[in-house]
Structure 1
Amino acid sequence: MADISKWAPSDVLEPIKRFLDGDLPMTSSIKVEQFQDGDTLVVRAEVPGIDPDQDVDVSVSEGMLHIRAERVERSEHKSKMGYRSEFRYGSFQRSIALPPGAKDEDITATYKDGVLEVRAPVPAAPPESTTKKIRIDHS
């Protein structure tokens, strides 16, 4: 059994902080915000501490945008009482419905300051259907 008297305050607070930050391994969803910017759907995903070239996959299938990220983070704590090293890792994913008619080839993604931004142009609405009366000829 561990000697509680040797625990540093950070040993107790770290799991609580991770829970509040949503960084526990059982959390498998990416936090996102989505909004319309003119004629473009914008999805911003919070994925700090990752290499977007190696750890992120953005794909489209069947009208859905899929974002998948994998994180490996290491932290080290040195003190008079000892040394502790922690790894946090896991994969996270999120799927968002795209506007009807969105074209895969028009969707772009950028990464800056821990935020992945995906932009999908929203196709112009089809013209309102007009009703035209068809004359019936009598023979």
Structure 2
Amino acid sequence: MDWKLAVVVVPVTDVDRAKLFYEEQAGFTVDHDSRVRDGVRVVQLTPPGSSCSIVVGTGLTEAPAGSLKGLQLVVPDIDRAHAELVARGVEVSPVQHFEDGDRVDGRGGAWNSFVFFSDPDGNGWAVQEAPGGAGAR
């Protein structure tokens, strides 16, 4: 039996601001924006090419806004991903890699080139280059 991660709830303070950030700046597709009942709103967004989505909304989680760290996207070309995020107005780190546990500017070896950004609430994202596009869909 396959077990597939389908949705990750991202805690935010302002649903409309988060929706705008993920759609217009991060480039995610809005799958739906639904009000399930009073106090419950679900906005599902999916990164291009991904089979896993995120959900922002109200009445979904007790986690504090901005508390989610370590969300990770995988791309075939880290330089292109960096350029796209910058062009969309995202405050993104330079391309970096890890050396002896520290983040260092510049590309690294296979699976070791990243850029980092946060959403308006401080939820933290890493974008990692997959060698030869492996793992990127």
| TM tier, smaller | 0.3 to 0.5
Q: Which has the higher strand share?
A: 1
TM-score relative to the length of structure 2: 0.32
User: Radius of gyration: which is bigger?
Assistant: 1
